Every structure is written in C-alpha cells, then in structure tokens.
A = this chain, B = another copy of it.
C-alpha cells in the first residue's frame, strides 16, 4: 500500500466511529473524486479549526471568544435556555421567538455511553447561575429518555437555588396528523391541554 494512502487511513481512523475499513473506503472515494474536492475538504477542516472556538460563556460555536448572542446587549441575560448541542440552539434561534441567552451542555447524560455530569458543561452552568443574575432557566433537552434524565438532573440542582425552572411544552407538533402521533405525545398533549 503506498505511503500517502496509508497516511490518510491513519488520520481518518482517529475520527470517532471510523475504523480502518471505513477509512480505506473514504480514502478511495477521495482518490476517485476531483482534486478540487480533496482541496475543498482539507481547506474547510483547517479553516474551521483555526477560526472557530467555543464561546467562553455559553459554549456555543463562535468565531470570537464571546459568541454573537452573548455579546449582543439586546439579549435578555436573565433567561437562560439550556440545550444539548449548538444544532439545537440553531433550531431555537430559527423560531426568532427567544430573546434570552443560552447554555450548551455539549451532550446529555448517558450512563450507558459513560457520559456523566462531569463530561457536560454543568459545572460551568452552575457557576453562571451563581455569578450572573439569572431569573429563569428553560430546559430544552430532546424529548427522549436521556434528554429527560438530563432535565430532571438539572432541575434538582437548579430549583433549590430559588430560580424558576421551566421546560419546553410537549404536545402535537404543527402540521402533524393525529393518526400518526405516538401515545406518549397524545397523553402529554391531553394532560397539558389549554383552555381557549
């Protein structure tokens, strides 16, 4: 096997979930693609790594030490929305309905995968709650077992500090056909029904 090929396999195999076999399939694909693809891929990787960092306050991806949300004086610093990933933050921002700030955990508790509180940005969240003037914490974890465990864990830590803790409403999503909605969602939607 020529050395340049071996080296690509070696480097790709360091990525999570990429074994030697997958790495060699990817390397072949790159070999058969245009040179411009190899160059674009390589450039995008180095450019991202050099440009991006995590915001030192909320741990969002950022091109500067403070992300565009934390450094925006018009955002309400007293309401924190806690999300698992920067992708979740992006989804909430798209709604244009939240004017508070965020805190990104970078994952959710998952004992099976060995993800414990110290693997997440929970200590940093508690420090923020201790030092900033925070009135409300909105838990916006994903609505699966691990997300809900994480939310429960955070509630137990934050509520005793006398801070209002809320979570996103659970119910029927827009455009959904009731026929295809699972029973847990229906139960939640019934339980939390709203008077008109």
Contacts and interface: CB of A to CB of B under 8 A. Distances in A.
Given A15-B29, A17-B25, A44 B1 contact: no
A61 B5 contact: yes
Contacts of A61: 1-2, 5, 31
A16 interface: yes
Interface in A19-68: 22, 24-27, 29-31, 33, 35, 37-52, 61-63
B48 A4 contact: yes
Q: How many copies does the complex hold?
A: 2
A134 interface: no
B12 A41 contact: yes
Q: By CB atoms of chain B within 10 A, which of A10, A37, A49 has the most?
A: A49
A87 interface: yes
Q: Is the interface of A mostly helix, strand, loop or mixed?
A: helix
Q: By CB atoms of chain B within 10 A, which of A5, A26, A35 has the most?
A: A5
Contact of A30 (B29, B31, B45): B45
Q: By CB atoms of chain B within 10 A, which of A31, A35, A45, A63 has the most?
A: A45
Given A12-B41, A87-B24, A30 B48 contact: yes
A122 interface: no
12 contacts: A1-B61, A4-B48, A11-B37, A11-B40, A11-B44, A15-B26, A15-B30, A31-B61, A38-B45, A38-B46, A38-B50, A42-B43
Interface of A: 1-2, 4-5, 7-8, 10-12, 14-18, 22, 24-27, 29-31, 33, 35, 37-52, 61-63, 86-87, 90
